[in-house]
Amino acid sequence: MPAPTATDGAARGIEEMAVPSAFAIFAVIMAYHFYGAIIAGLILFGITILSLVVLVSLAKYWNAAYTLGFVTVGFLGLLMIPSVLGELVHPVFNILSTIVAVVALVGIASFLVSKLNLKTSSGW
């Protein structure tokens, strides 16, 4: 099996960062229906943290092209595609979930920098 390409990473970036999972949609809708926007927000935040922790831990083993595709599409997805679940939860939890996603993408981007051996000169 050939190594994953940047296109494969871009497809994964769309799946993970732009489109919420069916489980997350179902859990947030059920929590919103039965418990309200605050509990739905907590559930969204928890699912976001758990999924991104797993993603960052797996990103350590991705090749550079796959990581580059994922990070590029991940950032573009966060900037350009509005959150569907953000309409159901309290705005604070939507903002916190977005911040956690950005931090995860920065962490994955730091893996990319280390894979490419891009070191800045410390001329300061």
pLDDT (mean) for 9-27: 86
Q: Indicate the pLDDT class of residue 121, thresholds 50, 70 and 90.
A: low
Give me the pLDDT at residue 19, please.
Answer: 79
Beta-carbon contacts of 64 under 8 Å, excluding residues fewer than 6 positions away, are 112, 115, 116
Q: Indicate the pLDDT class of residue 119, thresholds 50, 70 and 90.
A: low
Q: Indicate the pLDDT class of residue 122, thresholds 50, 70 and 90.
A: low
Of all residues in the chain, the percent with pLDDT exceeding 90 is 46
Cα angle value 66/74/17 (rounded, 5°):
110
Question: Contact at 8 Å (CB) between 112 and 68?
Answer: yes
Residue 94 has pLDDT above 80, yes or no: yes
Going 16 to 19 to 20 to 26, the CA torsion angle's sign is negative
Going 101 to 104 to 110 to 111, the CA torsion angle's sign is negative
Q: Indicate the pLDDT class of residue 115, thresholds 50, 70 and 90.
A: confident
Segment 23-61, tens digit of pLDDT: 888 999 999 999 998 999 999 999 999 999 999 999 999
Domain ranges of the chain: 6-116
